[in-house]
Amino acid sequence: MTKLGRGLEALIDSGPESIDKTTGITTIKIDKIAPNRYQPRKKFDKKKLQELANSLRENGIIQPIIVTKRDETKYELVAGERRLEASRLAGFDSIPVIIRSVSPKEQLQFAIIENVQREDLSAIEEARAYQQLNEEFKLTHSQISEIVGKDRVTISNLIRLLKLNDNIQQMILDEKISSGHARAVLQVNEQLQEDFANLILKNNLSVRKTELEAKRIKETGSVHKQKPETIVIPKLNEYEKKLIDSYKTKVTISGKENKGRIIFHYTSEKELNKLIKALEKK
């Protein structure tokens, strides 16, 4: 397995010689460069991309992108996607590049490293990239953790997010809920997860409150809290009628047979005093 802990420098310092043997840099037309097919990031911040395009237009491209050659005339991006897209936006016809020979696995690894080090990936994009390394390139979670510099548990927890349905994953991609919220959602029954995610959004729950709600939902089997007054038990209704007959006032019993509350209602001070005297006699 290729060790990539040193980051992109490891790629720049090795590999076949580039066209310019003095600098290792050449210039090729942008339309000859295809996107990295393994790029994990799918969503770009248009405002930040425009800011980068303005900077490149003003100052030029100081750091070349890295590409690999696919045939005699075509290249594929390895690292530097934001600079490539911003260069297109800035109207550049050509761009400085370093040409290196890399495997598909290395393309994915470097794309992940570039984005993770910049903290540009959402939790779902990062999870999908790790899953691809695991399934397509047969890397274990431990091996992936060595490559990207994160502990194995973090890698495993991120990949678990892909068990959520597409709608909840989109909420994470859109930054409506965090990965912390999502991990709590995973704790409840699959059929309740989307309703739970919507509850988090509706009530703007913190991660801590979401974790507490997850515990409640697991215990009750319901996303929505049930008011005690709505619980109807025939036997309690009988007790309620007996108390009404005995104390001559409205009485409400709510809860279960082994736990609940009894509420005596009154509409005046006179009724309250009468009720208290009746209770004292019992």
| C-alpha span between 49 and 56 (Å, rounded) | 10
Helix, coil or strand: residue 80: coil
CB-neighbour burial class of residue 32 (10 A; exposed 0-12, middle 13-18, buried 19+): middle
pLDDT of residue 141 exceeding 90: yes
Percent of the chain's residues with pLDDT above 90 = 25
| C-alpha span between 217 and 195 (Å, rounded) | 11
| C-alpha span between 75 and 78 (Å, rounded) | 9
| C-alpha span between 117 and 134 (Å, rounded) | 20
Query: What would the DSSP string read from start to end of 128-143?
Result: HHHHHHHHTS---HHH
The pLDDT of 213-240, averaged and rounded, is: 75
- Residue 66: closest CA among 130, 2, 132, 7: 7
Residues 6+ apart with CB under 8 A from 160: 127, 183, 186
Distances (CA, A) of 225 to 196, 232, 233: 12, 15, 18
Torsion-angle region of 70 (φ positive above 0: left; ψ -120 to 50: alpha; else: beta): alpha
Predicted pLDDT at 156: 95
pLDDT tens digit sequence for 214-226:
999 998 888 987 6
Residue 81 falls in the annotated catalytic set: yes
pLDDT of residue 256 exceeding 80: no
Least confident of 63-72, 112-121, 159-168: 112-121
CATH of domain 1-163: 3.90.1530.30
Cross-strand partners of 65? 97
* Residue that wins the pLDDT comparison between 109 and 156: 156
Under 8 Å between Cβ of 233 and 256: yes
Confidence of residue 22 (pLDDT cuts 50, 70, 90): low
The pLDDT of 109-118, averaged and rounded, is: 72
247, two tokens? 């104390």
Confidence of residue 34 (pLDDT cuts 50, 70, 90): confident
Percent of the chain's residues with pLDDT above 70 = 85
Whose tokens are 């010689």? That residue is 17
pLDDT tens digit sequence for 36-80:
887 777 677 788 888 888 888 888 887 888 888 877 778 888 888
Predicted pLDDT at 14: 39
DSSP element (H, E) containing 106: helix 104-118
Catalytic residue among 17, 72, 76, 81: 81
pLDDT tens digit sequence for 2-16:
444 444 444 444 333
Under 8 Å between Cβ of 99 and 19: yes
Predicted pLDDT at 117: 61
pLDDT tens digit sequence for 264-282:
888 888 888 888 888 887 6
148, two tokens? 């990207």
Mean pLDDT comparison of 4-8, 18-22, 79-83, 211-215, highest-scoring range: 211-215
